[in-house]
Amino acid sequence: MDDLDRRIVALLIRDGRATYAELGAEVNLSAPAVKRRVDRLLDEGVVRGFTAVVDPAAGGWRTEAFVEVYCSGAISPEALRHAWEGIAEVTNAWTITGQPDALIRVLATDVRHLEEVLERIRSAASIDHTETAIVLSTLVDRRVPASG
């Protein structure tokens, strides 16, 4: 990936609906040349797809939380993925370094709903305990670091 690809990716992050002509005008390439580059970025997995970014609150998901998960005994990342992928409120889950075994991002309609989701998370795998932090406000929301 060269600097031109990075600029195209940054433009796509800003506006995934931009036309190849619009992108080309920004990076001084023809629309067909931009299309070839975007197609290559898709083929190489650099760009994994295009999606709409929706405000969760608009859909009624007003409570966001991060859940640190502490497992009892050894459990594989695949087993954790399998345990949580069916819980729609789990939007992201990662294995991490440090004391917790995993970190989960959860969206819920309210605190009562969050409590129900936490019970499903805990019962879906071999969990010793969890620690939950409810998000009060979002200060920065970026998908990837801004390009320089």
Q: For residue range 1-27, list pLDDT tens digits in order.
A: 999 999 999 999 889 999 999 999 999
pLDDT tens profile 69-120: 999 988 999 999 999 999 999 999 999 999 999 999 999 999 999 999 999 9
Contact 88, 119 (CB under 8 A): no
pLDDT score for 14: 87
Taking domain 56-134, whether its CATH number is 3.30.70.920 is answered by yes
Reading the block at residue 53, the tokens are 């970014």
Q: Taking 70 as the threshold, does the pLDDT of residue 143 lie above it?
A: no
Q: What is the pLDDT of residue 34?
A: 97
Q: What's residue 73's pLDDT?
A: 87
What residues does each domain of the chain span? 3-43, 56-134
Structure tokens belonging to residue 67: 């859940």
Contact residues for 33 (Cβ-Cβ < 8 A; gap 6+): 24
Average pLDDT over residues 54-76: 93
Q: Which CATH architecture has domain 3-43?
A: Orthogonal Bundle (1.10)
